[in-house]
Amino acid sequence: MADYLPTEPYRGTRDFLPEDMSIRSQVFERLYEVIESYGYQRYDGPILEPTEIYETKSSQEIVEQQLYTLTDRGGRRLSLRPEMTPSVARMIAGNVSKLNFPVRWYSHPNCHRYERPQRGRVREHWQINVDLFGSSSSAVEVEFVELVHDMMAGLGASRDMYELRVSDRVLLNAILSEVLEIPDDMLHDAARLLDRWQKYPQETLAADAAEIGLTDKQFEKLGEVVAAGVDVLNDLSQEVRDHSMLMQVLDTGARDLITFDPLIVRGFDYYTSTVFEVFDADPANRRSLFGGGRYDNLIGMFSPQQVPGFGFGMGDVTILDFLRTHGLLPDAHSDVDAVVIATEAALFDTGRLAARRLRAAGIRTTMPLEVRKLGKEISRADRAGARVVIIVGQQDWAAEQVTVRDLVSGDQQQVTLDQVAPAVQAVLEQPAR
Ligand code: HAM
């Protein structure tokens, strides 16, 4: 027997058949609409980037374990983008003098990470990125809080279905150094420990804590900080509170829209203060849905200018899982409105004429490619999701007419070619099935 190649896509990647695409595009269109209502402009960039842009300031896990890297024929080391933030920072840095800050940009790239495929994690995902550049005001944070809630509302989610959890690296470092007295050179490792807090058992965390040099007492106190939640902020000095973006947000009306959570650390080295993640309230779907934060120095990797940035990435897998869990996924749409059926080959040209009129009127129209039994063609059109068939038959056409049939009501009427588009349009405007 011949050896055939597999039909499955590469592990961790997905094929999207038209039905999947219909659902996805309805979801994404809603999100684009909300994002654009805040004045964001769409951009895009290359899928391949020089590997260094990830090595300098990204996540250790991504750089060491998850990059897809290749060497091109000129010996350059390139990577498939695992995220968009370094790319957009490069674009902003390269165009600083032309841009009118603050800049609000969004994109929807596919990103590649070599991960173990599991629920919520794949090797190629599509990530909506929304970023604002050029402002150090905490009004940015407040705007993002509103945007996140509006995006969730745009998807049909109510406030009890998810939670926006926020922290601040300035506060976190202060908690670790002022409250726990952890020395500066251990802050990074201690923050990483917090990032892993809910994903690992206490014994593993205790062993990791010992390995990075924390005392038993400090580890115990770390547990107390986690349990204390927002109360831990009372112990911080005024200077720290003044420097924290999050403290400023907590002083505004947005306070009621967020939950402070010291366990929100996020794995990227470039975040400098506010960090956030959105979680599903349903325990069936415990993974973070999406997240981001403030990164005030990333542009500095490419240019001497200081341009603060704030943004987030929302992956397709996690948000679609969320919508599925809450019964909010839209139905797949049909891609065809009308089918023109010529009952014999001699009438094909007339059929094509009718189809052209319909398409010109914005009606999505197909025609069978050969003559088959009328009844069979009508049921095919119905299965394809068409609402209307236009039958071009010998008798009608002798009187220069065609038949327009509504497949939902069964009603039909004879019209001339000039009337065909308005007649079909009128049927399409009737309530759907
Ligand atoms: P991230 O948390 O690594 O952040 O990814 C953002 C979102 O992308 C995740 O919450 C998840 O929805 C999705 N995602 C990431 N990796 C995978 C994967 N392997 N499989 C499925 N979905 C995934 C960033 O990438 C930051 N660059 C976001 C950002 C934009 N920060 C500022 N601006």
> Domain with 301 in it: what CATH number?
3.30.930.10
| Pair (286, 390) in one structural domain | no
| Pair (27, 166) in one structural domain | yes
Confidence check: pLDDT of 228 > 90 = no
Q: Give tens-digit pLDDT for 10-31.
A: 999 999 999 999 999 999 999 9
Query: Span 337-366, mean pLDDT?
Result: 97
Q: The domain spanning residue 418 has which CATH number?
A: 3.40.50.800
Query: Span 356-384, mean pLDDT?
Result: 97
| Pair (366, 317) in one structural domain | no
| Pair (175, 56) in one structural domain | yes
Residue 28 lies in a domain: yes
| Pair (287, 398) in one structural domain | no
Q: Is the dihedral of CA 212, 115, 52, 264 positive or negative?
A: negative
**Higher-confidence residue: 126 or 229?**
126
| Pair (212, 90) in one structural domain | yes
| Pair (35, 65) in one structural domain | yes
CA of 429 to the centre of ligand 1 (A): 40
Last residue of a domain, one of 273, 291, 325: 325
Q: Whose CA is nearest to atom 4 of ligand 1?
A: 313
d(CA 204, CA 201): 6
pLDDT of residue 198: 82
| Pair (291, 168) in one structural domain | yes
Percent of the chain with pLDDT over 90: 75
Confidence check: pLDDT of 339 > 80 = yes
CA of 313 to the centre of ligand 1 (A): 5
Tokens, residue 265: 């650390």
CA of 31 to the centre of ligand 1 (A): 16
Q: What is the DSSP letter of 296?
A: S
Which helix (H) or strand (E) segment is 314 a member of?
strand 309-315
Q: Whose CA is nearest to atom 17 of ligand 1?
A: 121
Q: Give tens-digit pLDDT for 53-107.
A: 999 877 888 888 999 999 999 999 999 999 999 999 999 999 999 999 999 999 9
Full residue range of the structural domain in which residue 62 is found: 18-325
CB-ligand 1 contact for 129 (6 Å cutoff): yes
Last residue of a domain, one of 325, 349, 381: 325
Which helix (H) or strand (E) segment is 20 a member of?
helix 18-37
CB-ligand 1 contact for 115 (6 Å cutoff): yes
| Pair (199, 316) in one structural domain | yes
CA angle in degrees (0–180, nearest 5) for 220-223-224: 90
Query: Span 403-421, mean pLDDT?
Result: 97
| Pair (222, 256) in one structural domain | yes
pLDDT of residue 433: 57
Last residue of a domain, one of 290, 325, 360: 325
Instruction: Tell me if 313 sits within 8 A of 129, measured CB to CB.
Output: yes
Q: What mean pLDDT is reported for the chain?
A: 93
Confidence check: pLDDT of 1 > 70 = no
Percent of the chain with pLDDT over 70: 100
Residue 365 carries which side chain, given as an amino acid letter?
Answer: T
- Lowest mean pLDDT segment, chosen from 57-66, 136-145, 252-261, 355-364: 57-66
Q: Give tens-digit pLDDT for 279-333.
A: 999 888 878 999 999 999 999 999 998 999 999 999 999 999 999 999 999 999 9
**Higher-confidence residue: 184 or 279?**
279
Using CA atoms of 83, 84, 86, 90 in order, give the dihedral in degrees to the nearest 10: 160
Residue 9 lies in a domain: no
Residue 82 lies in a domain: yes
Which helix (H) or strand (E) segment is 220 a member of?
helix 216-228
Q: Give tens-digit pLDDT for 118-142.
A: 999 999 999 999 999 999 999 999 9
CA of 95 to the centre of ligand 1 (A): 25
Q: Give tens-digit pLDDT for 202-221.
A: 999 999 999 988 888 888 88
d(CA 231, CA 251): 15
Residue 415 lies in a domain: yes
Burial zone of 419 (CB within 10 Å; 0-12 exposed, 13-18 middle, 19+ buried): middle
d(CA 157, CA 396): 51
CA of 122 to the centre of ligand 1 (A): 11
| Pair (133, 54) in one structural domain | yes
d(CA 164, CA 55): 29
Tokens, residue 57: 């300031």
Residue 32 lies in a domain: yes
Return the ligand 1 atom nearest residue 113 CA: 19
Structure pTM?
Answer: 0.92
CB-ligand 1 contact for 406 (6 Å cutoff): no
Best residue among 83, 307, 316 to mutate for probing ligand 1's pocket (most ligand atoms within 8 Å of CB) is 83
Confidence check: pLDDT of 42 > 90 = yes
Q: Whose CA is nearest to atom 25 of ligand 1?
A: 83
Instruction: Tell me if 272 sits within 8 A of 298, measured CB to CB.
Output: no
| Pair (372, 235) in one structural domain | no
Residue 6 lies in a domain: no
Q: Find how far residue 379's CA is from the centre of its chain.
A: 37
Best residue among 67, 113, 125 to mutate for probing ligand 1's pocket (most ligand atoms within 8 Å of CB) is 125
Q: Find how far residue 290's CA is from the centre of its chain.
A: 8
Confidence check: pLDDT of 181 > 90 = no
User: 189: pLDDT confidence band, cut at 50, 70 and 90?
Assistant: confident
